[in-house]
Amino acid sequence: MKEHGPRFEPIPDELVRQAASVDIVAYLTQRGEQLIPSGTQGSYRLPGHGGLIITGSMFNWIGKGEGGNAIKFLRSYYGMGFREAVEELLGSGAGECKAAPARPERPFTFEDIDLAPSLDRAIAYLTKTRGLSRRLVDEIIIIRHLFQEAETNNAIFPIYENHRIVGAERQGTLSHKRFKGVIPGSKYGCGYNLTFGDETAYALFFESALDLLSFIDISRMNGKDLQGCRLTSLAGLKQNILEHTIAQLPEARPFLCVDNDEAGQNFIAKNSGLEARLPDPDFKDWNELLLAMR
């Protein structure tokens, strides 16, 4: 564990301007967030966040007295730092990011993440707030599939490919701030994954590491065996992770285990040749179902 995080060069002004001008609606849609048209043409709101209106690359959060561009939105809504927000937007593929001539990131290196000596915050959040069993959380800690970031206390879910960490999914641990995302530089097409058994007969795809882990606990509570299953997080609804994983597992039978919402249904329709297994209709996602079962 390093005592200090990596030092970065300042982000060029042009790249900051490009990140700030990203279409927030396109970015949120890509992440699988549900948006509802507002009264003004081209404006949208997020359910459950009263007074949060988004129009193109700008937002106005009346209830909090905040507003501004895409960078400010990620900082306010997801609790990201400035650099983190810029890198996330430039790497998202939404809006003008596709035309960005360069990205202020280098290839992912797990050693660049300043890890906390204790996982207390991550453990407490996952077990007490999100309802995961302590048994499961301890298991993924032992096999090095869960870490905690030092400065932010974010939960870090490392992405493995061929027994090597090639990226990571990040989950905030503050219950009043929703935040999750992929660390910039993570390998394209790869998602957080867990495999049960030596032979993979089934490939199950979830919208996040949290939903993936919730499904494991639910299966165990129902006495179901996951031997022969590879569970993979799509880190939202990233088509590239789905396609890359299926290509790696040509003999496995794929299932879309996405959310019970419009974004999930659209993703299923987009991949109509694949089977879907969703949470019970009364629940939006697998974690909501797990919490109801506790």
**Is 185 part of a structural domain of the chain?**
yes
Are 231 and 267 within one domain? yes
Half-sphere exposure of 207 (CA within 13 A, CB side): 24
Residues 85 and 153 in one domain: no
pLDDT digits (tens, 9 = 90+) for 112-147: 889 999 999 999 999 999 999 999 999 999 999 999
In a domain, 4, yes or no: no
Residue 60 in any domain: the answer is yes
| Same domain (yes/no): 157, 263 | yes
Residue 152: both structure tokens together: 């932010």
Predicted structure pTM score: 0.68
Residue 22 covered by a domain: yes
Give the per-residue pLDDT at 62. 80
CA proximity to 166, closest of 158, 178, 174: 158
Tell me what pLDDT residue 64 has. 78
**Which amino acid type is present at position 196?**
F
Quote the pLDDT of residue 94.
60
Pairing of strands 202-206, 229-233: parallel
Same domain (yes/no): 31, 158: no
Output the pLDDT for position 173: 87
Q: Is 24 in the same domain as 122?
A: no
Q: Which residue has the tokens 């929703």?
A: 178
Look at residue 106 in the predicted model and tell me its pLDDT. Answer: 58
pLDDT score recorded for residue 26? 86
Do 87 and 190 belong together in one domain? no
Q: Which of 149, 165, 147 is nearest to 157 (CA)?
A: 147
For position 96, what pLDDT does the model report?
41
For the chain, which residues score pLDDT lower than 50?
Answer: 1-7, 95-105
Domain holding 83, by residue range, is 13-99
How would you label 192-215 residue by residue, b for 16+ Cβ within 10 Å and e otherwise?
bbbbeeeebebbbbbbbbbbbbbb
